Structure 1
Amino acid sequence: MTHQGLLPSVLIGAVASARSMTPMAAIASARLAGAKTPGKLWLLDHPLFKFGALAMGAGELYGDKMKTAPDRTVFLGLLARVMSAGIAGAALAPRNKAHEGATVAIATAVPLAYATLAARKQGIKKIGQTRSGLIEDALIVAAGAAIVTWAVRR
């Protein structure tokens, strides 16, 4: 296996750094559309997971614009990123490489959460919380969808 085999896992970890629920929502959307992920995880086929992931993804996009929203680097924010990146990284990894996929996704998501937070704070200073959040949403949701689409078609 080449390192390129884990590239979708790394990239989905980057998505999780900015929006913890977007990787799971992107995978749930693909699964609802009938796509199969390279990695096999039983929960990806459970209806509660699929619809729950979509609801949580939408809820996060809404909640992020609230002035009381916590930074993504607080303990629970990082925990959500670790869990989401790990599951998504495993799902997008080549067959029998789930542990490696989860590891690289988590190793990408956690440090990048600090970088994406710093970028977001700069955006808030320049254009405000809502506008910077909407721009970040558009970029991250598009990236998540593109990465999952690419991974399931490989």
Structure 2
Amino acid sequence: MIRSLLMGLVAGQRGMTPLAAVAAAARRGNLPPGAPLERLISHPAIAGGTVALAAAEMAGDKMKSAPDRIEPLGLVARALTSAYAGAALAPGGERTAGAILGVAVALGASYVGWRLRCAAMERYGQTATGAVEDAVVLGSGLSIALAPR
């Protein structure tokens, strides 16, 4: 369940990264047996689409017009992706709990991450703070999803 919790932290910062990380784990056969939608998310076209979504979100985050991560639509996206990632990374009998844990952590982390980013942007600007955040989120997401089970 630790992977579900940690992926919730990732989803709180970037909503699409958990999908790309789970797709990478699925393609490498690194999800728990019977993970939901494993065959679908490991398909090359779907996995590539998740990477494109994550990259588009990261690029869009640097734009002045980017909405805050705590806007309702952003929170819904984070809830959905963290629920799926939490379930996919949890052991077989704990998938529902993994989904719930992922959502709860993602929503809480969204607010904490938003406040921290706002404070950092005042000093370092939107692009620099976003690039650092992207590197941390992407590295963390892949490390969590690809960690040995």
Q: Answer whether TM exceeds 0.5 for this pair.
A: yes
The match for 2:10 is 15
Question: How many pairs align?
Answer: 146
2: distance between equivalents of 1:8 and 1:115? 20
The match for 1:126 is 123
How much has 1:50 moved relative to structure 2? 1.4
Show the 5 A alignment for 1:101-112.
101-112=98-109
2: distance between equivalents of 1:13 and 1:118? 17
8 Å Cα contact 1:29/1:54 also seen in 2: no
- In the TM superposition, what whole-angstrom CA distance separates every residue of 1:1-20 from its partner, at most 9, and x where no partner exists? xxxxx111000000000000
The match for 1:41 is 36
Determine which of 64, 75, 79 is the counterpart of 2:76. Answer: 79
8 Å Cα contact 1:15/1:22 also seen in 2: yes
Residue 50 (1) aligns with residue 47 (2): yes
Show the 5 A alignment for 1:62-101.
62-101=59-98
RMSD of Structure 2 on Structure 1 (CA): 1.2
Structure 2: stretches of 5+ with no match in the other structure: none
- Partner amino acid, structure 1, of 2:58: L
- Partner amino acid, structure 1, of 2:68: D
How much has 1:149 moved relative to structure 2? 1.4
8 Å Cα contact 1:90/1:101 also seen in 2: yes
Structure 1: stretches of 5+ with no match in the other structure: 1-5
8 Å Cα contact 1:73/1:113 also seen in 2: yes
- In the TM superposition, what whole-angstrom CA distance separates every residue of 1:27-67 from its partner, at most 9, and x where no partner exists? 112223x2231151123234443121111011111000000
SS in 2 for 1:97: helix
TM-score, normalized by length of structure 2?
0.93
SS in 1 for 2:92: coil
8 Å Cα contact 1:11/1:147 also seen in 2: yes
Identity over aligned residues, as a percent?
Answer: 40
